[in-house]
């Protein structure tokens, strides 16, 4: 081998090694723990974390120490010394006040009772003449949350010289709802198969389960519902309970409880009974015994999530019983074990109603105060079904005697699915910040969800998971931000989406200011962009039939009217939109008077909800001075232009992002831009049949005919 060839060969190997080191597939999520390059920060962080005292000796304490060892080794290239008692050189202490009586006396203005079981402090203090940081809380779980919050400070390059942080979760139950089936398919999943490998459980615990637990604990999620709300009753059998118990054992040190979906007809399907009537004594006995069996396997089992009387699922309506009677049967079985029932309010009639948006309210409002104390009624953020934008669900504010749990969808069923960048923190914030006026001004959805408005001790928030077996967990790299945002807003529903986006970016991609500025701009405009190119001005439910992928405003003549698009947009020669005022379905009457007056009046109705509540002529004059038709067309065009802007922003920071993640996001942004044009062209051609008006200046002519778009049938659409 000649010298030139040898040098070339060595150079090639070095390039491969260098590329391998730089490759990043996104598996580590926001726990990248990138090396700290800033010399000042590096020196300060190293000095403050060289000697760590963790007095606890539990599985969770071991998790804390392991996480610190991993994170500090990667970020600071250091290996801290750990002790179980305070030493003269200790600079970081992680423990409860009961184990640290000397420290407890040195910290002022802390009510340990107020911290509860999960709240924590991060406090700078002087101890033995040395600058020391104390991460304190009443339980190991609180200390784990505090540790992750401290590591976030290092990841985002914050000053840690004078810390005074108190953080208390505002909701009690913060859970992911996995729509995972026992066969490992995932309903509305766009990131591969289910991560639960039931066949190999309970004997093999995949390392990914531990990383799943780490990720959730790092953002304060304390529960997981392992199974699909539409799944059969298999998971309640002894065969599966042994496997569920293995997952519960794995998650327990991370403060995560396991929950299961309970199929209402389980007593018949796996119990041999001839009825599932909730008022039948044998049925109640069967559930009592089944719950006792579950707790023998899983002593800290969280409880059940139930979908009943909806989309073909069995429920109490089958026996002329109420939703409260159905929920209370399960609640009574769980009460001796302190378990809870999360009873979904997504209930609508088997017959097409006058307006589906009214049904959950009509079903549940009369039952306010009739549920057992350990029941949370789980309500979607809007009354239809996870649309790109909906007004808040009218049940929020309508049931003051019943704790209502928010259900957000993290997976993007109606939002471009697996390839569209849509930062849902903006959507979540928009809903939570909305004033319901239920008890006067300031009665926000957030105050109802966290229980503070009506003094409920039980509160919660659920997010329909977007997690799968893809190496980056969520399919789209930026899909991770929606998982992260859900956790942060479940912990504190008043947190800013903009701050969450910035935090996630710094932890996930690094602290480069140009990257953070441009990527944050992409994220914060992404939700408005998708609303513009899909369902502007209050349009809704005009997606493709069944799979909900791509535009389908022409969908009609199905076996249920309210599963069609024409039912919702009601486009005709006289206009477009769904009249929900007193002259129409009167769904608006389900809201407080202040909301009714505001939304019924065309002068005060927010234009983002205009066609949700009003059917208007095509030449209706908008606040911009444009006709309604022109405004619709210009919004579709704006959405396309916004995706182009996102694409250009990403391209401009190519040199600030590792190649593997950069390339994937770039490809997905191009797909999103192309599909935004597909949405614009297909919808405008369809609606133009009725408006009979030309496209306004600035909106290009569609590339194909309406017939082309209507006859395009995408194959192998994921998520079913």
Q: Please identify every residue annotated as catalytic.
A: 311, 385, 413
The position carrying tokens 């909106």 is 699
User: Distance between CA 327 and CA 451 in Å, rounded?
Assistant: 20
CA-CA distances (angstroms) from residue 605 to 381, 429, 546, 610? 19, 20, 31, 6
User: Distance between CA 435 and CA 209 in Å, rounded?
Assistant: 39
Q: Count CB atoms within 10 A of the CB of residue 583.
A: 10
Q: How far is CA 602 from the centre of its chain?
A: 33
User: Distance between CA 423 and CA 428 in Å, rounded?
Assistant: 9
The 8-class DSSP code of residue 537 comes to: G
User: Distance between CA 90 and CA 130 in Å, rounded?
Assistant: 8
Q: 510 and 656 in contact (C-beta within 8 Å)?
A: yes
Q: How far is CA 338 from the centre of its chain?
A: 26
CA-CA distances (angstroms) from residue 597 to 355, 554, 579, 581? 20, 32, 15, 10
Q: CB under 8 Å to 20, separation ≥6 — which residues?
A: none
- H/E segment holding residue 104: helix 101-104
Using CB atoms within 10 A of its CB, is residue 322 exposed (0-12), middle (13-18) or buried (19+)?
middle
User: Distance between CA 538 and CA 578 in Å, rounded?
Assistant: 9
User: Distance between CA 205 and CA 196 in Å, rounded?
Assistant: 10
Q: 604 and 588 in contact (C-beta within 8 Å)?
A: no
User: Distance between CA 543 and CA 545 in Å, rounded?
Assistant: 6
Query: What is the token pair recorded at 473?
Result: 């967990």
**DSSP for 681-710?**
HHHHHHHHHHH--PPPTT-PPPSS-HHHHH
Strands (E), 19-119: 51-53, 81-83, 92-94
The position carrying tokens 């009506």 is 454
User: Distance between CA 428 and CA 487 in Å, rounded?
Assistant: 11
How large is the greatest C-alpha to C-alpha distance in the chain, in angstroms? 89
Q: At what angle do helices 628-652 and 659-691 cross, to 10 degrees?
A: 170
């Amino acid at each position: 081998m000649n010298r030139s060839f040898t040098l070339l060969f060595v150079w090639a190997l070095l390039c491969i090694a260098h590329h391998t080191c730089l490759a990043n597939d996104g598996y580590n999520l926001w726990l990248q723990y990138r090396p700290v390059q800033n010399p000042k920060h590096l020196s300060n962080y190293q000095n403050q974390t060289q000697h760590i005292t963790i007095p606890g000796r539990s599985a969770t304490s071991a998790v804390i120490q392991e996480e610190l060892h991993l994170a500090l080794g990667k970020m600071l290239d250091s290996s801290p010394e750990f002790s179980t008692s305070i030493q003269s050189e200790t600079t970081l202490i992680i423990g409860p006040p009961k184990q640290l009586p000397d420290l407890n006396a040195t910290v002022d203005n802390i009510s340990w009772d107020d911290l509860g079981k999960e709240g924590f402090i991060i406090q700078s203090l002087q101890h033995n003449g040395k600058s020391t940081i104390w991460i304190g809380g009443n339980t190991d779980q609180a200390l784990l949350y505090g540790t992750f919050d401290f590591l976030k400070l290092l990841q985002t390059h914050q000053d840690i010289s004078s810390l005074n942080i108190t953080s208390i979760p505002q909701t009690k139950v913060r859970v992911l709802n996995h729509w995972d089936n026992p066969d490992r398919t995932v309903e509305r999943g766009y990131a591969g198969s289910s991560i639960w490998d039931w066949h190999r459980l309970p004997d093999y615990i995949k390392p990914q389960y531990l990383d799943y637990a780490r990720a959730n604990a790092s953002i304060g999620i304390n529960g997981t519902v392992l199974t699909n709300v539409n799944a059969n009753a298999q998971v309640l059998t002894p065969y599966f309970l042994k496997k569920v118990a293995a997952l519960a054992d794995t998650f327990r040190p991370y403060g995560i409880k396991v929950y299961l979906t309970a199929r209402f007809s389980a007593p018949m399907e796996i119990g041999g009974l001839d009825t599932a009537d909730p008022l039948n004594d044998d049925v109640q006995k069967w559930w009592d015994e089944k719950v006792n069996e579950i707790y023998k396997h899983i002593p800290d089992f969280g409880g059940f999530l139930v979908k009943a009387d909806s989309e073909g699922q069995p429920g109490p309506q089958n026996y002329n019983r109420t939703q409260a009677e159905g929920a209370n049967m399960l609640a009574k079985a769980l009460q001796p074990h302190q378990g809870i029932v999360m009873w979904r309010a997504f209930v609508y009639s088997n017959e097409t109603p006058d307006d589906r948006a009214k049904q959950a309210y009509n079903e549940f409002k009369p039952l306010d105060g009739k549920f057992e104390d350990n029941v949370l009624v789980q309500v979607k953020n809007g009354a239809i079904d996870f649309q790109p934008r909906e007004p808040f669900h009218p049940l929020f504010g309508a049931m003051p005697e019943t704790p209502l749990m928010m259900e957000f969808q993290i997976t993007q069923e109606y939002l471009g699915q697996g390839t569209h960048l849509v930062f849902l923190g903006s959507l979540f914030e928009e809903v939570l910040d909305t004033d319901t006026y239920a008890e006067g001004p300031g009665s926000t959805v957030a105050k109802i969800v966290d229980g503070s408005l009506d003094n409920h001790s039980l509160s919660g928030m659920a997010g329909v998971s977007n997690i799968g077996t893809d190496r980056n967990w969520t399919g789209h790299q930026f899909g991770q931000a929606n998982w992260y945002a859900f956790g942060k807003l479940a912990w504190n529903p008043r947190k800013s989406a903009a701050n969450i986006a910035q935090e996630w970016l710094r932890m996930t991609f690094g602290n480069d200011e140009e990257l953070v500025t441009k990527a944050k701009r992409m994220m914060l405009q992404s939700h408005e962009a998708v609303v513009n190119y899909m369902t502007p001005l209050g349009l809704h439910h005009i997606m493709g039939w069944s799979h909900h992928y791509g535009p389908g405003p022409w969908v009609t003549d199905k076996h249920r009217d309210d599963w069609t698009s024409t039912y919702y947009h009601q486009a005709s020669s006289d206009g477009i939109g769904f009249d929900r005022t007193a002259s129409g379905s009167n769904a608006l009457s389900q809201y407080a008077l202040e909301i009714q007056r505001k939304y019924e009046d065309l002068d005060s109705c927010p234009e983002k909800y205009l066609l949700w509540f009003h059917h208007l002529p095509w030449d209706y004059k908008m606040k911009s001075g444009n006709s309604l038709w022109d405004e619709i067309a210009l919004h579709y065009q704006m959405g396309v232009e916004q995706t182009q802007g996102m694409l250009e922003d990403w391209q401009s920071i190519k040199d600030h992002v590792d190649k593997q993640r950069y390339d994937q996001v770039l490809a997905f942004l191009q797909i999103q831009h192309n599909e935004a044009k597909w949405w614009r062209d297909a919808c405008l051609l369809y609606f133009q049949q009725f408006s009979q008006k030309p496209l306004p200046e600035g909106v290009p002519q569609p590339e194909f005919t309406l017939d082309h778009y209507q006859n395009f049938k995408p194959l192998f659409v994921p998520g079913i």
